[in-house]
Amino acid sequence: MPSPRADTAPPAPQPVSRQVLADRYAGPGEHDASQIYRRVALALAQAERPERREAVARAFLRNMEQGAIGAGRIMANAGARRTGTMVNCFVHPVGAGRGAASFEAGLADACKTLSMGGGVGYDFSVLPPADAQDRAGLPSACEAIGRYDAASAALAFEGARRGAQMAVLSCTHPDLLAFARAKAGRKRWRGFNLSVAVSDAFLQAVVDDAPWTLCHRAAPGPAARARGAFRMPDGLWQYRRESARALWRAITEQALESAEPGLLYLDTINRANNLRALETLSAANPCGEQPLPPYGSCVLGPINLSRLVSHPFGVGGPATLERGRLARMTRIQVRLLDNVLALTRWPLPAHAAEARAKRRIGVGITGLADMLAMLGLRYDEEAGRAAARDAVRIIRDHAYAASAALAAERGPFPLYRPQDYLGADRVGAELPAAVRRAIGRHGLRNSHLLSFAPTGSVSLAFGDNCSNGIEPAFDWVYTRMVRLGREAPVQTRAENHAWRRWRHLMGEDAPLPPCFLSAASIAPEDHVAMLAALQPLVDAAISKSVPVPADCPLERAQALFLQAWRAGLKGLTLFRPAAGMDAVMYARDAPQRPCSPPGDCAACE
């Protein structure tokens, strides 16, 4: 092994990072990250009392310089003249309650939100099946998704990136198969990611090889009645009974073929929700890290863990996570995101009302895999998962402590109830005693504190292309398609941050140690194991795709989805490389394969 360099400072930013920063986040007169940080810090300090603004702005600025930034909407829009929102993600109802007029109003609300840069998720399950008898002027679920997709594609939108959308359909909806197969070849509904909301009962029926009822409140038409549809005692109409395993096979075949639909484990989501006594969740934002009620939203902000390793790779001393600094940064990050709620432009009054009642925020992470590599740990081994859990536990504990401190200063969120947090089966049972006592005295300022998004563009622009979110690095050096403004994407060389640090410290010819693992070199089951290690500590959810080999058999894909369910995950998406699919990133010496997750998750960055 060559001797390390005496100069241990990080290398200068690479060209692709400077390009993306300038295109997506820099305002007039801004040329580097420090200028953006200063604009954002000054803007978000305006939520403070006048005498505290200068000190808080300095704290926000220092935090961003150390790696705790806002998500993309914050970094682009805070303190800027743009009219976009600083909120990344929303969930909307589709407006089925009062017939056609309500549907059109819901579509208009979605377009307004998307035009301001927000991404939106929807549960289309309330809309009638294609062969319902009387739709009261409503489109069927699949027709409605097409309407939303066409309307959003025609929008003028704010900023460099269009907000993505998520369509969710229940596993009980009679059009389940048509929905699951709708994006075969990825030619239809290009502005949408798709997820099937699966229940424990459905998955148990799969395991037991039992029949499954597809039903809806809308009355079936003559064709469905001729096939045996009938009204059930609970008022629902049973359209037909299918083999649960046959439905499961069709869903998972399509998930393996085109990376969609993903699965949302809806019962798990609702059991784990801090506010499960007050709301029922049936949809998530476009990348799946934030299950939300109707008109719910969340502001996001990741902490770059790759910036928090002292003596990376053991150069100059033992490589360790700077736990105290991570704790301090988390507390400041909670304050910054709570300030966003006070200052952002809201697309709709309903968003503002829902946000003020619950004050959801989402402290996140990026650079996890790079952190592990710098610590000399493998992503696919228990020691790596234990280190990841340790970092996330610090974030969780100090986020809740900071929210309790904010509640003492500003008051708890209006719907706060002690029993939702301090009961035996609630999040408080897992927190340190001092944090529980603080919550007991003051309550919480925010109903939810953690949400792990993909963070692709902000990790590229502000993190020197560190491994994004909790994903492993795609590769060490690769070609990335980068869209600048509204021009066609161009090919750009991109280098992983941890790899650049290693080369900078150890030299160009130093062999990579075993802790360097790309996404494709990790077994799919170990990707799921990392999710399972972290999800119990995250009160919202985690966005992650699990890459599987090109020759992955269907049975393995099905086992991965069941592994995720049994492990208590809230959602899962698989990705298998396939010729002909649109690619965002290309490995140097491998067939083209797109980034993970596939689709446009700009809403989460």
Residue 143 annotated in active site? no
Instruction: Give the C-alpha separation, 276 to 342, whole Å.
Output: 25
Using CA atoms, how far apart are residues 494 and 281, in angstroms rounded to an integer? 38
322 given a catalytic annotation: no
Q: Determine the residue type at 464.
A: D
Distance CA 353, CA 358 (A): 9
Q: Which one from 171, 287, 595, 601 is the annotated catalytic residue? A: 287
Virtual CA dihedral for 495, 496, 497, 499, nearest 10 degrees? Answer: -100
- CA atoms of 40 and 61, how far apart (whole Å): 8
Q: Phi first, then psi: what are they for 316, rounded to 5°?
A: 85, 0
Which neighbouring-strand residues pair with 169? 196
Radius of gyration for the chain, computed over Cα atoms and rounded to the nearest angstrom = 23
The pairing of strands 477-482 and 490-495 is antiparallel
Question: How many CB atoms are located within 10 Å of the residue 568 CB?
Answer: 14
Of the candidates 158, 257, 260, 289, the residue annotated as catalytic is: 289
| CB 406 within 8 Å of CB 439 | no
Whole-angstrom distance, CA of residue 444 vs CA of residue 464: 35
Strand-strand pairing, 297-304 and 361-366: parallel
496 is catalytic: no
- In sequence order, what are the residues at sequence separation of 6 or more whose Cβ sits closer than 8 angstroms to the Cβ of residue 246? none
| Catalytic pick among 63, 274, 285, 468 | 285
* SS3 of residue 295 by DSSP: coil
Residues annotated as catalytic are: 285, 287, 289
